[in-house]
Amino acid sequence: MRYLEGFRDPEAARHLAGRIRDTTARLADQGRQARIMEVCGTHTMAIARHGLRDLLPPQVELISGPGCPVCVTDAGYVDAAIALADSGCTIATFGDLVRVPGSRSTLAEARSRGAEVEVCYSPEAALALAARRPEREVVFLAVGFETTIAPVVTLVRSAAGRGLRNLSLLTAFKTVPPALAALAEDPEVQVDAFLCPAHVTAIIGSEAYRPFVERYGIGCVVAGFEPLDILHGVDTLLGQLADRAPALANQYERVVRPGGNRKAQEVMATYLVPEDASWRGLGVIPGSGLALRPEYAAFDAARRHGRPVAAGAPDPRCRCGDVLKGKIRPRDCRLFGTACTPDRPVGPCMVSSEGSCAAELRYGA
């Protein structure tokens, strides 16, 4: 705990805030402002919880991007999971997905109709469930970014090793670098720099962003989750902007290596191949997903049960897409905190505590 306190020191935060004010003044002298997007749900929550926006000058805007895996899960994926549950499969899933709205309902509502939907706290729990219930087809909802893909996909190896033939994965794995490229190419998105995700980058390595920085001329800084980590990352990005020198920087060297976690990368390459993936609110992003290789088709729930994931139809009133692109703040959605709350979410950004809408409603920032 004492170690962490060093990254929450109020005096150091005030010092960094002063530096940020000075750098922002240089930007303002050039008639410029800064919109910095974080692409990580844990950053989104930390920024809101610690009130970091209040420390920044008005010319600096922190906006939340598509960094929460639950938030970017397409309605069509939820529809496919519900169809599998209604057809007699047992759905094993992390808790948040149970409440994510599909086109017409949620897995929680399917459960209330009698479908079997089990909340698991780890992939191993899904494995244990399949072993306990050999008479049932168990489908694990394999949703996530690079951070969690390796431990989830090793379920295939574990199930094969134990001779379990009743476990499969409904995959919606997504990768962050293609999403950054899509945002950079989207004329609707106004972003000057990216605060890159720490957990994801611990796996893919900070060098994974170098092609992006070189191609788009947009600065990327990898930052940790403590208040000083984030302020330091913002300060570095503002300095780059003021100097008109976008670059790649790793402010989280105590965890993130340039090459990332080779072991996890090997595991992903063994079981998965890139595919186009549909992100809620962003549409299909080429090469941004990972699908099970054809040799593991028996573990692919969509193929095994003939239930491919199709495009969904989310509630048209929900503006998660605009929130995830940083076009609006959550409170600009007219359902925010009224028709849409964490107890009755209309869109996925209100489901997870790391969702932009849930974080803004909870912390008011």
Q: Is 62 in the site for ligand SF4 (CB under 6 A)?
A: no
CA distances from 99 to 78, 82, 288, 297, 346 (A): 10, 12, 24, 28, 9
d(Cα 60, Cα 20) in Å, to the nearest integer?
A: 9
Q: Is 279 in the site for ligand SF4 (CB under 6 A)?
A: no
Q: What is the DSSP secondary-structure string of 302-364?
A: HHHTT---------TT--HHHHHTTSS-GGGSTTBTTTB-SSS-SSGGGTSTTSHHHHHHHH-
Phi, psi angle pair for 338, to nearest 5° = -115, -85
In this structure, what DSSP letter does residue 226 have? Answer: S
Closest CA to 175 of 207, 139, 200: 200
Q: How many CA atoms lie within 13 A of 300 on its CB side?
A: 19
Of 305-344, which residues contact ligand SF4 (CB under 6 A)? 318-320, 323, 330, 333, 335-336, 340
The least CB distance from residue 346 to ligand SF4, in Å, is 4
> Nearer Cβ to ligand SF4, position 145 or 336?
336
The least CB distance from residue 75 to ligand SF4, in Å, is 12
CA distances from 83 to 66, 96, 102, 132 (A): 26, 18, 11, 23
Task: Decide: 140 and 155 in contact? Cβ < 8 Å.
Answer: yes
For the chain, what is the total number of helices (H) and then of strands (E)? 15, 11
Of 226-245, which residues contact ligand SF4 (CB under 6 A)? none
Please name the helix (run of DSSP H) or strand (run of DSSP E) that holds residue 46, with its range, or none. helix 41-49
> Nearer Cβ to ligand SF4, position 233 or 347?
347
Q: Is 97 in the site for ligand SF4 (CB under 6 A)?
A: no
The least CB distance from residue 244 to ligand SF4, in Å, is 34
Q: Is 75 in the site for ligand SF4 (CB under 6 A)?
A: no
> Nearest residue by C-beta to ligand SF4?
347
CA 140 to chain centre: 18
**Residues near 112 by beta carbon (within 8 Å), at least 6 away in sequence:** none
The least CB distance from residue 320 to ligand SF4, in Å, is 4
> Nearer Cβ to ligand SF4, position 67 or 227?
67
d(Cα 163, Cα 227) in Å, to the nearest integer?
A: 47
> Nearer Cβ to ligand SF4, position 151 or 342?
342
The least CB distance from residue 326 to ligand SF4, in Å, is 13
The least CB distance from residue 95 to ligand SF4, in Å, is 17
> Nearer Cβ to ligand SF4, position 75 or 340?
340
> Nearer Cβ to ligand SF4, position 49 or 327?
327
> Nearer Cβ to ligand SF4, position 98 or 340?
340
Exactly one of 17, 78, 357, 359 binds ligand SF4 (CB under 6 A); that residue is 357
Q: How many residues bind ligand SF4 (CB under 6 A)?
A: 15
Q: Is 45 in the site for ligand SF4 (CB under 6 A)?
A: no
Closest CA to 77 of 337, 302, 304, 291: 302
Exactly one of 346, 352, 354, 359 binds ligand SF4 (CB under 6 A); that residue is 346
Q: Is 48 in the site for ligand SF4 (CB under 6 A)?
A: no
Exactly one of 41, 219, 224, 347 binds ligand SF4 (CB under 6 A); that residue is 347
Contacting residues toward ligand SF4, per CB under 6 A: 318-320, 323, 330, 333, 335-336, 340, 345-347, 349-350, 357
